[in-house]
Structure 1
């Protein structure tokens, strides 16, 4: 089993497991159309749907087996401003996939980058990952910029590779290797 020592602290944030007490904060961003617009098949959530989401995320506090998702609440000023996750995609290849969702009211200050970097760093330094990758809709410029700020390189542009809201959509893939992570200059 792989589990961070919680909380993971950065200069401005604390990353910790999601709890049911986070429902109000999580619902505050999950109900917004501008937050869920790039999420596959997602529509703004009702409070009950957010409650179910929070309960699911609360169980994602460690990697026990390949395929598991580690989801952490990102806390700033005593409020959950977003979540970051690492999905254990391949144990043998030591690969994980990065994901994140943040309340837009906290954008523009580097908090999402800081939080994602902390979880990616845990994966490389504590777990011994070889590669972390992330994917986003090709028109999701904010997500693509975040991955670039992490030092991830754009590896692919998959043209019309998946159905998104009933239409074929392009997907970007970004990745970084452990040795690149260790040698990068943090932004």
Structure 2
């Protein structure tokens, strides 16, 4: 079992905070081990997404208010299940573009899919978080998240995304983590700031979605900033 709150010691955080050396990604990384030994927070379990989670994922993937800010088209159930299976196939981080998606699971919540009965007793998938390789040469990784609206406003997104940031820095050792947001997505922007990330740029009219050109905001945090904030308790809960 992995406890994200104990990913590194205080001494290790201090060393990370002082370090600003060359790229040192711990690649390749295979997340398969986290299926049986997932990341755990106070209320959540984060484990690699599986095709069997498709019914739960569809419950939020089909909602217009969710996909409005994501590069996801509208999908019917069959297409959505195929999409989840495709996302679940990503397990190894080794090269640019590689990714792993983690299901955010809430214990005690019944799953939306009968096919999971007796298979997964951890709980319902209420969202997911993703880490993707942006640039191996310069040790840059990207994170992203999505949460079912019924579970928003309870701190689950902060808890899950925060665990992912801690795990990513302490286990994979990137120099930088970044996030790309639709600039209209105020909730995700606020979450980035709670995670200690800064808004670094806005790319004007980068994408054409839903009949209009949309701007993209870029948020980022460096390894030494994360380590210093975690060591001194400045990352807001």
* TM-score, normalised relative to structure 2: 0.75
Q: Give the alignment partner of residue 39 of structure 1, picking from 57, 70, 84.
A: 70
Higher deviation after alignment, 162-171 or 84-93: 162-171
Q: Does 1:54 align with 2:54?
A: no
CA distance in 2, matches of 1:152, 1:56: 29
CA distance in 2, matches of 1:36, 1:162: 14
Report the counterpart of residue 8 of structure 2 in structure 1: none
Once the 2 structures are TM-superposed, how far is the Cα of residue 114 of structure 1 from its aligned partner? 1.2
Report the counterpart of residue 117 of structure 2 in structure 1: none
Where structure 2 has 5 or more consecutive residues not aligned to the other structure, the ranges are 1-27, 108-122
Change (3 A) 1:39 1:9: same
Report the counterpart of residue 154 of structure 2 in structure 1: 109
Q: Give the alignment partner of residue 23 of structure 1, picking from 44, 48, 54.
A: 54
Report the counterpart of residue 186 of structure 1 in structure 2: 235
Report the counterpart of residue 116 of structure 2 in structure 1: none
Aligned length: 186
Give deviations 1:48-77, integer Å, cap 9, x for gaps.
Answer: 111111111211123132210111111012
Q: Secondary structure at the match of 1:89?
A: strand
Bigger RCO (CA 8 Å, 6+ sep):
2
Where structure 1 has 5 or more consecutive residues not aligned to the other structure, the ranges are none
CA distance in 2, matches of 1:160, 1:20: 34
Q: Over alpha carbons, which structure has the higher Rg?
A: 2
CA distance in 2, matches of 1:161, 1:171: 6
Q: Secondary structure at the match of 1:108?
A: coil
